[in-house]
Amino acid sequence: MKANPSAQLLLLDVADIDRRLAQAEHARKNPPQAARVQELIAQRTTLGRELAARAGARDDLRTELKRIEADVEVVSARRARDAERLASTSSAKDAQGLEHEIASLDRRRSDLEDAELELMEKLEQAEAALAEQQALMDETTSEGQRLSAEAKALVAKATSDIESLTRDRAAVAGRLPADLLGLYERIAARGVGAALFTRGMCGACNMVLPPSDLQKLRDTPADEVAHCPECGTIAVRTAESGLTPGGVRFTEGAE
């Protein structure tokens, strides 16, 4: 295919825009924070289950403590009544019975108070465990929110870049002959559409061509589209291509 060397150079601009478009599209669809955010979502679910379990254990202890506190109040109230009756009774038999009951109530209250202290200690530990778990939840949530915000900002920037690059591509592509652009896009659909050929090496596959292939490129007129024999990309040649001591030698008839 014939193509003015200046048009071939424009292919490099299109290829560069396409490369940046691909990067922006990848960033838009796959922000680097996404994987960690998914990990944090799963982690938060696990932490949430443990948090609920610890809250349930704390609540059970609170309920049990209230029950014991209520029992202590009942025992204390009954002892107070018995003490009043003992102070007012004149019957030795009644006094003996009341004293026996008061002693029994004192033992019961002592047992309840011991249980109360034990439960209060357990409740304190449960509250600490719950607070620890809540701190982990808060830390996980905070990190997830921060990463999500970063990802949204990156996606927004990538979307803006795509819109800008798409306009730039249309402007550059509009200056290319339709047949040359069509050839480029067919090649670009399966790889790099065009690349600079520099110092005997293809800029797409980074292969240094053997002398026989270099000679074929050397013999190809400057206004003829050349391809890398290794990867098939359009090889855009300049004075830096290394095809001759002085750069590309345009054959007769070339523009």
Query: 97-145, pLDDT tens digit by residue?
Result: 989 999 999 999 999 999 999 999 999 999 999 999 999 999 999 999 9
User: How far apart are alpha carbons 196 and 240 in whole angstroms?
Assistant: 9
pLDDT in tens, 235-247: 999 888 877 643 4
If one counts the domains in the chain, the total is 2
Q: Is there a single domain that holds both residue 138 and residue 101?
A: yes
Domain that holds residue 210: 5-26+176-237
> What pLDDT digit, counting tens, does each position of 5-17 carry?
999 999 999 999 9
Residue 254 forms part of a structural domain: no
pLDDT band at 255 (very low <50, low <70, confident <90, very high): very low
**pLDDT in the model for residue 19:** 96
Ramachandran quadrant class, 139 (left: phi over 0; alpha: psi -120 to 50; beta: rest) = alpha
The verdict on 129 and 149 lying in the same domain is yes
Same domain, 21 and 63: no
3-class DSSP assignment, residue 237: strand
Give the pLDDT band of residue 74 (cuts 50, 70, 90): very high
* pLDDT confidence tier of residue 188, bands split at 50, 70 and 90: very high
Domain boundary among 172, 195, 217: 172
Query: What confidence score (pLDDT) does residue 18 get?
Result: 97
Q: Is the pTM of this model over 0.75?
A: no
**Does residue 160 sit within a domain?**
yes
Residues 35 and 109 in one domain: yes
Mean pLDDT of 13-36: 95
Sequence-ordered strand ranges (E) for the chain? 194-198, 201-202, 234-237
Instruction: With CA atoms as reference, report the closest residue to 188 among 70, 18, 71, 30.
Output: 18
- 165 and 202 belong to one structural domain: no
Residue 249 lies in a domain: no
Q: What is the pLDDT of residue 156?
A: 97
